Chains A and B, each alone.
Chain A
Amino acid sequence: MTPKIDLAELDKHRPYLLKFAMLQIRETHVAEDMVQETFLGALTAAERFSGGSSVRTWLTSILLHKIADHRRKAGREISIEAHQGEDGTDGIEDLFQENGRYVEMPELWRTPEQALTERRFFEVLERCIRGLSETAARVFLLRELMGFGIEEICKELSVSTTNCSVLLHRARVRLRACLEERWFAA
């Protein structure tokens, strides 16, 4: 049964859309505006929602377009540099030695679940996400925050599956190192 697009349905997804927007856009009020515009757009287009994707995927897609429009107006290109997965500027080479071993031995994280009860941990996690390149962050957030599947990400951002997994790999390795440095080993 196709879910009904109404305010109650949108409210369920609000925290996720807001968090996604705030991690992609620096200014909080702009992020909030983007989400509001997304909801307006969704309510207007509600009849056209066929239920082919999940509601969250559909809403996120609208949000991504709003963000792209906003950036274009602000004079910044939002082109998803698919090549960025290959040119190495966003790479994680600095974390590994020539022979493929870690430069720094990953530490033992004692009772990491404890961190999930502390708000400051999530502030650190968000700071680490903001340290990623825009593209890596976008792919990572679509996957882990918004629950997109790989094919959905590829379709949405027009990147190849390979580049998708390269970007996710880099994001995860970078975030792991960041969390270790700023929380677990701090």
Chain B
Amino acid sequence: MMLSCREVSRLLSDQLDRKLRLTERIRLRIHLAMCKACSRVEGQLSFLRTAMSELAKPRDESESTKK
């Protein structure tokens, strides 16, 4: 049974918190190999985590002059 993008988004989220089971991992990889949307989302959720890790760090005031 193929996973939907909605189901895949749940797995992409879960893999940020726990180790996926082998069957989950396989089904996820198969879906990602065929779905551009979810491939993009995987990277973007990973980026969201990175952004959050930067959120509370004090930032250099001079950066506010950019853009």
Q: List residues of chain A with CB under 8 Å of any chain B CB.
A: 15-16, 18-20, 96, 99-102, 105-109, 112-113, 115-122, 125-126, 143-145, 150, 165, 168-169, 172-173, 175-176, 179-180
Contact = CB atoms under 8 A, between A and B. Distances in A.
A165 B63 contact: no
A126 B16 CA distance: 21
Given A15-B58, A16-B56, A120-B67, A107 B17 contact: no
Contact of A125 (B43, B55, B59): B55
- The prevalent SS among residues of B at the interface is helix
Nearest to A180: B44
**What range describes how many residues of B lie at the interface?**
20 to 34
Nearest to B42: A106
Nearest to A173: B9
Interface string B32-67: 000001001101110111111111111100011011
Contacts of A15: 56-58
Contact of A116 (B9, B54, B58): B54
Contacts of A96: 4-6
Interface of B: 4-7, 9-10, 13-14, 16-18, 37, 40-41, 43-45, 47-59, 63-64, 66-67
B64 A119 contact: yes
A119 B44 contact: no
Contact of B40 (A101, A106, A118, A144): A106
B14 A165 contact: yes
B54 A102 contact: no
B9 A169 contact: yes
Nearest to B61: A119
Nearest to B45: A172
Given A15-B57, A119-B59, A168 B48 contact: no
A102 B66 contact: no
Most buried by B among A96, A100, A113, A125: A100
A176 B17 contact: no
B16 to A, nearest CB: 8
A160 B63 CA distance: 41
Contact of B37 (A106, A112, A169): A106
